[in-house]
Amino acid sequence: MQYRKFGSTGYEPSALGFGCMRLPLLPGDDRKVDEEEAKRMVRYAIDQGVNYVDTAWSYHQGEGEPIVGRILQDGYRERVALATKMPSWLIGKREDFDYYFFKQLERLQTDHIDFYLLHTLNQAYWDNYVKLKVFDWAEKQLADGRIRKLGFSFHDDLSVFEQILNGYDHWSFCQIQYNYMDVEFQAGQRGLKMAAERGLGVVIMEPLRGGSLAKETPPAPVKAVWDRSDVAWKPAEWGLQWLWNQPEVSVVLSGMSTMEHVKENLTSAGRSGVNSLCAEQCQVMKDVQQAWKGLAPVACTHCEYCLPCPNGVQIPQIFEIYNNSVMYDNPERGKRRYQNEIPQESRADNCVECGACEGLCPQALTIIEYLKHAHASLSEG
Ligand SMILES: NC(=O)c1ccc[n+]([C@@H]2O[C@H](COP(=O)([O-])OP(=O)(O)OC[C@H]3O[C@@H](n4cnc5c(N)ncnc54)[C@H](OP(=O)(O)O)[C@@H]3O)[C@@H](O)[C@H]2O)c1
C-alpha cells in the first residue's frame, strides 16, 4: 500500500480508502447488505493496509453505520481512521447536532470519529449550519476529543465551495466528487487545488463516477483509445491512477462492491504515486476524455450565455443531465435527476421557442431542437 499526505494534518492515509456506500447486497434483495461478505472485504482491505473507512448516517437506508460498527470489531476499529457525516438535510435545530452525533457514536460502537464531515454541503445546508452556529458545537466536540478532525463533503458550484472554504478557518479536510470526467464539475480541479493550497486534506468521492467509468467494455471510441496504449490497465485502474497522479489528492474512496474490486483496487493502489504517469499515459487520459465527450449529444460547454431564459428554462443544467444520461448509457439515472433536480416550471417543455438563447450561444447550438430531444428522452416511460 502507498500512503499519502493529508493536507497539514500530519495523518498519512492509504492511497485507497474504503467507501461504504456500495457494500455488497444479498442476492435477490437489493436493499439488504450481505454483511458477511462486506466484513470479509473491508477486513481484507484493512489487512492489506487500507486505513481510511468512510460511511454516513444515510448509507444503506440507515443500516450502513451499524454494519460498519460491527465490521470494525475485533480490533479493526483501532487500525483505521473512521469517517462519518452529520446528515445535513435532517438538521432543523441546534439540539439535532447532539442527537445525530451521539447516535452515530453508538451505531459505530466507538467513542470518537476521526474524520467528521458536514454531509453534502450546498448553499442551503451551509446557510442553515451558519445560522445554527455549528462551529460552536463542533469545537466543543473537538476539544473533548470526540471529533478528531472536522471537514465537509460537497455538492454545489465552485463559488459555493470557495464561500465554504472562506467561511471557517479551521477546516482540516473536505470531500469532493472528482474524476477524469468531472474536472470542471462542482468543486472540480480548481476546488481541489484551492483546498490543498489552504492545507486541507482532500478526499475523493465518486472517483469512477459511481462505476460509469469502470465498465469492462466501454463505448467503442473510448475503448479504441485504451487499446492504443502499451499499458494493459482496466478502465477502473486508469481512472484511479489519474487521480493518484495528482499531489493534491489525499485519499481516493472507492465504493467497492465485490471482493474482486477490492483486490484489483488494492493492486492499483500499490503501484500508484504522485506524478507517476508518463507523458504518453497523460495523453491517453486526455484522449479518453475527448472520446467520452464526443458521445455527448449536445456540445454544450455550460458557459451559461443562454441564461437567463425569459421563460425560466434551465438550459445548461438540462443539457448536462441529458448528455450524461446518453454518454454513460444510464437513462434511468437521467430521468431521476431530471425529476429531482429540475423544477417542473424550469423543464424543457416550458420552452416557447422565442429563440433568445440561440442568438447568444457561442457554440451556435440549435437549442430549441435539443431541448425537445432532451425532454423526450428524460421524460419517456
Ligand atoms: N459525501 C457524499 O455526498 C458522498 C457521495 C457519494 C459518495 N460518497 C463516498 O465516496 C465513496 C466512493 O464513491 P463511489 O461509491 O461513487 O465510488 P466509485 O468508485 O466512483 O464507484 C463505485 C463503483 O465503481 C465500480 N468499481 C469500483 N472498483 C471497480 C473495479 N476495480 N472494477 C470494476 N468496477 C469497479 C463498481 O460499480 P458496479 O458495482 O456497478 O460494478 C462500484 O460499485 C462512497 O462509497 C461513499 O463512501 C460520498
Q: Which residues contact 308 (CB under 8 A, 6 or more apart)?
A: none
Domain count for the chain = 2
Report if residue 8 sits inside a domain: no
- Is 11 domain-assigned? no
Distance (Å, whole) CA 20 – CA 40: 13
Domain termination residue (choose one: 255, 278, 301): 278
Residue 206 Cβ contacting ligand 1 at under 6 Å: yes
Which runs of E-coded beta strand occur in the chain?
Answer: 16-19, 25-26, 29-33, 52-54, 81-86, 113-121, 147-154, 173-177, 201-205, 251-254
Q: What is the pLDDT of residue 232?
A: 87
Q: Which residues, 6 or more positions from 376, have their beta carbon under 8 angstroms from its beta carbon?
A: none
Q: What is the pLDDT along the chain (381 residues), one digit of tens a residue?
A: 999 999 999 999 999 999 999 999 998 777 799 999 999 999 999 999 999 999 999 999 999 999 999 999 999 999 999 999 999 999 999 999 999 999 999 999 999 999 999 999 999 999 999 999 999 999 999 999 999 999 999 999 999 999 999 999 999 999 999 999 999 889 999 999 999 999 999 999 999 998 889 988 888 899 999 998 889 899 999 999 999 999 999 999 999 999 999 999 999 999 999 999 999 999 999 999 999 988 889 988 878 889 999 999 999 999 999 999 998 888 999 999 999 999 999 999 999 999 999 988 888 899 999 999 999 999 976
18 sits in which H/E element: strand 16-19
pLDDT at 380: 75
User: Grid coordinates in use for 315?
Assistant: 438550459
Q: Do residue 338 and residue 216 come from a single domain? A: no
Name the residue among 142, 225, 126, 150 with its Cα closest to residue 180: 225
Q: Is the CB of 210 under 6 A from ligand 1?
A: yes
| Atom 8 of ligand 1, nearest CA residue | 205
Q: Is 285 contained in some domain?
A: no
**DSSP-derived pairing of the beta strands 29-33 and 25-26:** antiparallel
pLDDT of residue 347: 96
- Ligand 1 centre and the CA of 208: distance in Å? 6
User: Do 269 and 353 belong together in one domain?
Assistant: no
Domain check: are 37 and 156 in the same one? yes
Task: State the pTM of this model.
Answer: 0.90
Ligand 1 centroid to Cα of residue 45, in Å, is 15
Q: Are residues 213 and 66 in the same domain?
A: yes
Ligand 1 probe mutation, 254, 258, 324, most atoms within 8 A of CB: 254
> Do 88 and 30 belong to one domain?
yes
Ligand 1 and 167: CB distance under 6 A: no
Q: Let me know whether 330 and 274 are in one domain.
A: no
Q: Whose CA is nearest to atom 34 of ligand 1?
A: 214
| Structural domain ending residue among the three candidates 254, 278, 302 | 278
Q: Which atom of ligand 1 is nearest to the CA of 209?
A: 20
CA distances for 375 relative to 337, 338, 342, 351, angstroms: 12, 9, 11, 10
Pocket test residue of 155, 182, 261 for ligand 1, highest count of atoms within 8 A of CB: 261
Helix axes 235-244, 220-228, angle to 10 degrees: 70
pLDDT confidence of residue 210: 87
CATH of the domain at 23: 3.20.20.100
| Same domain flag for 124 and 246 | yes
Q: Is 211 in the pocket of ligand 1 (CB under 6 A)?
A: yes
Q: Are residues 274 and 325 in the same domain?
A: no
Cis amide prior to 308 (ω within 30 degrees): yes
Domain that holds residue 321: 315-379
* 327 found inside a domain: yes
Asked whether residue 331 is domain-assigned, the answer is: yes
Whether 362 and 243 map to the same domain: the answer is no
- Residue 150 φ then ψ, to 5°: -110, 135
| Judgement on whether residues 261 and 328 belong to the same structural domain of the protein | no
* Same-domain pairing of 111 and 199: yes
Same structural domain, 207 and 356: no
Asked whether the beta carbons of 231 and 203 are under 8 A apart, the reply is: no
Q: Please say which residue of 250, 278, 306 terminates a domain.
A: 278
User: What is the structure's pLDDT at 216?
Assistant: 84
Is residue 36 assigned to a domain?
A: yes
The closest-lying atom of ligand 1 relative to the alpha carbon of residue 203 is: 10
Coil, helix or strand for 163? helix
The Cα–Cα gap between 172 and 176 comes to 14
Task: Name the closest-CA residue to atom 4, ligand 1.
Answer: 205
Nearest ligand 1 atom, CA 155: 3
CB 19 within 8 A of CB 32: no
205 C-alpha to ligand 1 centroid (Å): 7
